[in-house]
Every structure is written in C-alpha cells, then in structure tokens.
A and B are shown apart, each in its own frame.
Chain A
Amino acid sequence: MGFLDIDNATKSYGAVEVLHKVDISIEEGEFLVLVGPSGCGKSTLLNMIAGLEEITSGEIRIRSDVMNGVHPSKRNIAMVFQSYALYPNMTVGQNITFGLEMHGTPKPEREKAMRDVARLLQIEQLLDRKPGQLSGGQRQRVAMGRALVRNPDVFLFDEPLSNLDAKLRVDMRTEIKKLHQNLGTTIVYVTHDQIEAMTLSTRIAVMNGGYVQQLGTPQEIYDSPSNIFVATFMGSPAMNVIPATVRIQNGIPQAEITRYDGSPAHLPFSQPNLSQWDGREILLGIRPETVTDVDGADRKSTNIAHLTNRIVVTEPAGSDTFVSMSLGGKDVIARMRSDAEVRAGQDFDFAVNMEKAVAFDPETEDRIPA
C-alpha cells in the first residue's frame, strides 16, 4: 500500500465511461506525471484526486484514508492550476494565506508561513501587489506559493507551465524539479508535454483514451514502451516504427526490412525469443538517436548493425542533424551529430544500435517481450 493509491478508479459521465479502471500507487516523495494527448482523461484523474470530480467507482486513498466523497479542502492536498487561478481582488500575500485563513490558522502563524514561502520562492517584494500587476512567471510562483504554504500531503499540478513562453517554461521546469528535490514532497503532475514528463518525473503514467497505457520510470517508458502508442508518444522526434519480417539466420533472429530501392536489408536482433516469430510480420521500433553514422555509434553497444540506404533530406538543427530516409515504405528519421558528413541523395552507411531496438506485434500493437 502506497502513499497515494488510485485503486480501480473509474469515471463515467452518464453512460460514457471516460476513465477505465485506473490503478496507480505511488510512494511518499514520488513525482508522478500523468501524460497523454488531450482528452485522454489525465486532467479528469487529477480532479478526482483533488475531489473536484466524483469517483464513479473504485477508490482513491491518501495515507490509507479513503478519499471518496471527502471535500477537497479536507484531503490535505494543494493544487496549481493551468491559469494559476489567483484571486484577482486580493494581494499576493492574501492569495497565499487565503487557504490558511479558511482553515482557521491564527494570523501570526499565517504571516510567518507566508514569509517563509515568499523567501523560498523569492517573491518577497511582490507580497503587496495584485495578481494583475505580475508577469506570467511571477504568477506561476505565487500559485506555487499558495500551494506550498499549506504544507499538504500531495501537490497536484494541472499543466502549470503551458501558459508560459518557451524559455520561461524551461526555467520553471528546473525550479519545480529543484523544489521537489529540496522539499521531498509528493507530486502528481499533469502535462501533455512528453519532455516535461521525462525531465520531472520519478514515474510516468502514459494515458490514452481513458486507459493507463504504461506506468513506469522515465527510462522504462523510453526504452521499453509497452505498445506502439507509448513508443511514438514519448520521445521527440518520435520512435521510427518500420514494418519488418523476422528471419532466423544461424539461430539469430533478424529483421528483414525493405530499403528505398526495394532490396532487403537484414538487422540482427538482440532479443532471443523472437525465434517463434520466424517468417512473420512485426513492427520494428528504433529511436532516431540509435541510427547514426558509423563513427557516432554507441561504443558500449554489443550489437551495431550496418545499413546502407539513400538519404532523402537532411535537417541541421545546430546540436544535431536529422536525416530522413525511406525504410519499409516509411519515412525514418536518424539523429546524428551535427558534424556528420551527410547530404541529400547520397547512399550512406548507417549504424543501427539494435540493442535498443524493440519489436511490436502488428495485431495487438503491444511490444513483444524480450
């Protein structure tokens, strides 16, 4: 039993079930990110934890106390909203202490708590201003201050960075991570941004269509996606998914894929148990950064396969150069060092790190276990 348990939680609006038997359990101090495309149910799940939405069936427990039907203010949670939801008629200081006031905390204690939080977030000079006079980043800090001051069991963040501009978003992301490391708080964080999910979390729940597709550490999610949805949703550029046929040669399963000119190429798998798939169609998943030039290949890998193919387009992006080619009838992206010597129309010798390759069942779209 964890610190926050979501046990078979289901949410329906009338006859429409939008969340299907969600099961998540996290420990104290964990940073859980709920990530998925819009409409996947992640915000609904967060609102259910907050108590802003009823649970249709199942249970949500915090510190083993069942929270079904408990009022949001009595769950000892705090929430940071996407729009920050600062009270426009109150000063920053009043915004921060409003929750304490409502819970009947005496004024001297409120003042002290407010000062402490303001110092932590470096917003002391803003305490007497109204939210309308603050910039986006400052509002964000105040919203976090309002959550922090109550010292809750669980922090809930609902896409808190999506209203900030790109640079500020990266800065605030780091701030949130620092805050989590320093305070060791338990956080549930909703985002549709897979980079936020990867960088912040200790564990990620990837959601789609009201189902949790996969729950795991960022590394597990990235390296061993449980299905094609997770594989292509996490990572940018997305994982390449290429139709392939399994051929066993000398006892080693190989992926046979079609090159741009229709000729076959063979890439040996590191996965031994693909032998029962001999002669059958699979979908081969390879991350762009595992396809490189020969010099740039991962030296620790024990399974680098060579593949000659024609380059269609090169896209220099400063730190990397993205190279696209055609494999198995699909556009495939390779991510190379910026100094790799590539040009469009060239036949190039690619190195594919097959240790990192994954295989999917084309029927179920689930990963074939290694």
Chain B
Amino acid sequence: MSIASQDTAIRTGRVTRTLIYVVLILFALFYMLPLYVMLVNSVKPLAEITGGGMMNLPEQVTFEPWLKAWSSAQIGVEPTGLAPYFWNSIKMVVPAVAVSTILGALNGYVLTKWRFKYDTILFGLMLFACFIPFQIVLIPMARMLGLMGLAGTTWGLALVHVVYGIGFTTLYFRNYYAVFPTELIRAAQIDGAGFFQIFWRILLPSSGPIAVVSIIWQFTNIWNDFLFGASFAGADSQPMTVALNNLVQASHGVKEYNVHFAGAILAAMPTLLVYVVAGRYFVRGLMAGSVKG
C-alpha cells in the first residue's frame, strides 16, 4: 500500500517538474530575445542589418559600432560619442545614490529607535513622496533649482534625485530597522554610545542587505531616468539616457542601427552590472525581516 503510493508520488513529481521547467525555459528565452537581437545586431556591419534577417547571427563580426557609439557618434551637434555623457551620469548617480541611501538609513534609524510624537504621520508623508508623479514637480523643481543656482548642473540633477529617492530609501530602512532589536540600542546607550556612534557602530554594520536593496533600487532608477535629465540638465551635464535619445533620434543621415544598438547596451550596462554583482543580496534584503532567523 505504502509502496504503491510512494511510486505514484515520485512519478507525478517528475512529470510536473518537467512541465514547470519547460514552461520556465520558454519564458526565459522569450524574455531574453530583445537582448539577443541587440547584441547580435550591434556587432554586424550596417549593410547586413538593412539586408534583413534581424534574428540571424552576424556573418562578419565587427566592433566598429561599439567604438563609434562610445567615442565618435554624432550626439546632437557634436561628434563626441556617448563617453562624456556616461561620465555625466556617473557623476550624478554616485553622489545621489550615496546621499539618498545614507539619509534613508538615518531617517529609518530615527523613525524606529528615537520615536517621537507624530512620527508615524511623518513617515506616512514621506511615503507619499513615493507616489508623486514626476511630471507634477517639474516646474516647481525647475524654479527651486534656479533659486539655488543649481539649474543646468550635475549637482542640481543629483539633488533632484536625492529628494525623490528619500521616500523609498526611508521606507526600506525603516522597515528593516523596525525589527532590529531595540535592546541593542539600549545596551549601546548604557555603554555610553551617542546618537551617531550607535548609528555607525551598531546599526550600519548590520544593514548590509537593506543597503544593497537601496543602492540597487536607487542606482537603477536614477541611471535610467530620462525625464529629469531631459528637463533639468544643461548641454554639458546631460546624462547617458538623454544622450542616447539624441543619438537615436538624430534626423539627418543614415540610421545606423548597429551603433544605436551598441549605444543602448552601453547605456544599460551599469545597471546590469550592479544587478549581477549585488543581485543575490538584493533578494536576501527584500526577504529580510519577513522570515525569522
């Protein structure tokens, strides 16, 4: 009796599992298709693309489109390639991610371990920031940047992203610290540690997973942002996304699809890289607090 039922259990499992894997692999392939098209076509000479057969593997592999996209393609009026804009993006993203993550961590720390009256209302208002559409703030933000003398600068752009990011980073860190044992904070207080010492010495070293979540989230969003970049950046502070648009949307000459593909991959590369490097911490961080242990 028991042997028979065991047998069935195994066989059912095998069939189901095969089905599940087939479906999953199909979906994965489908999902990878655009990346395949981009990669394949970015290393073809233009003639091969215009000759049709977008799905074909290249007959002749060339890295010329990549070099051109990076250093000599026409962006707007200058033939600079994407390189200077890439560095613009880096100069905007790094401080914006760092500052918004640190401020989010501080906010989370205060909102959970130094509770005050109406702190939940304040947190609710900060959460609200996550739901304000970008378009609404464009004009007031432009005015503010002008008043601060930051209009058209990389710093101004970074500031906008910090302000927009704090809502999210605060949410992450607050929820993470909410389950962080308060007894540890009390022990540190008795040990004589001050507000910032507790933060740096006790809380931050234990915040690895959630810091990774915050960094990936912020990095991806800020790097990929187009609207703020297009609205607030000056000619010499435009981020990668805006430059890519200018490259692809150029209305004169031949459409160099291979260069466009290469440029698009270059623009997507940093976010991919961040996710590949830190992705497993991302999942771990998102799970943190939901499961005991």
Asked if B192 is at the interface (CB within 8 A of a chain A CB), the reply is yes
Which residues of B have CB within 8 Å of A83?
A: 181, 183
Whether B186 contacts A102 by the Cβ 8 Å rule is no
Say yes or no: B206 contacts A77, CB within 8 Å. no
Give Cα A78 to B186, complex, Å: 11
Q: Are A102 and B202 within 8 A (Cβ)? A: no
B-side contacts of A99, CB under 8 Å: 190-192
**A62-100 vs B, Cβ < 8 Å mask (1 yes, 0 no):** 000000000111100111011101011100000000110
Whole-angstrom distance from the CB of A176 to the nearest CB of chain B?
18
Complex CA gap A103/B181 in Å reads: 23
**A52-B189, A85-B181 known; 6 other A-B pairs, CB under 8 Å?**
A78-B190, A79-B190, A81-B186, A85-B183, A98-B193, A103-B192
Determine if A205 is an interface residue (Cβ-Cβ < 8 Å): no
Taking the complex as formed, is B287 at the interface, i.e. its CB lies under 8 A from any CB of chain A?
no
Q: Indicate the member of B184, B191, B202 with the most A CB atoms within 10 Å.
A: B191
Of B181, B183, B184, B191, the residue contacting A102 (CB under 8 A) is B191
Chain B 130-146 residues near chain A, CB threshold 8 A: none
A19 in the interface (beta carbon within 8 A): no
Complex Cα gap A52–B201 (Å): 20
Taking CB atoms, residues of chain A closer than 8 Å to B183 are 81-83, 85
- Least CB distance from A164 to B in Å reads 16
A99 to B201, CA, bound (A): 12
Q: In chain A, residues 324-361, which have Cβ atoms closer than 8 Å to a Cβ of chain B? A: none
- With a CB–CB cut-off of 8 A, which chain B residues contact A81? 183, 186-187
Question: Quick one: CB contact mask for B204-231 with A, threshold 8 Å, 1 for yes?
Answer: 0110000000000000000000000000
Report the minimal beta-carbon distance from A163 to chain B, rounded to whole angstroms: 12
Cross-chain contact B192 with A85 (CB below 8 angstroms): no
- Nearest chain A residue, comparing its CB with the CB of B186: A52
CB distance from A160 to the nearest CB of B (A): 12
9 closest A-B pairs by CB = A73-B192, A99-B191, A102-B192, A89-B205, A85-B187, A85-B183, A81-B183, A72-B190, A85-B184
In the complex, whether A9 has a CB less than 8 A from a CB of chain B is no
Residues on B facing A (Cβ under 8 Å): 181, 183-184, 186-193, 197, 201-202, 205-206
Q: Which of B188, B191, B197, B206 sits near A88, CB closer than 8 Å?
A: B206
Chain B residues with CB below 8 A from A33, complex form? none
Residue of B nearest to A82 (CB): B183
Specify which of A74, A77, A82, A98 is in contact with B188 (CB 8 Å cutoff).
A98
**Taking the complex as formed, is A50 at the interface, i.e. its CB lies under 8 A from any CB of chain B?**
yes
List residues 92-116 of chain A with CB under 8 A from any CB of chain B.
98-99, 102-103
Which chain B residues lie closer than 8 Å to A52 at the CB level?
186, 189-190
For residue B185, which residue of chain A has the nearest CB? A85
Chain B residues with Cβ below 8 Å from A71 are 189
- For the complex, what is the distance from the CA of A52 to the CA of B191, rounded to whole Å? 12
In-complex Cβ contact of B191 among A51, A82, A89, A98 (8 A)? A98
| B187 & A102 in contact (Cβ 8 Å cutoff) | no
Nearest Cβ in chain B — how far from A155, in angstroms? 11
Minimum C-beta distance from B291 to chain A (A) = 16
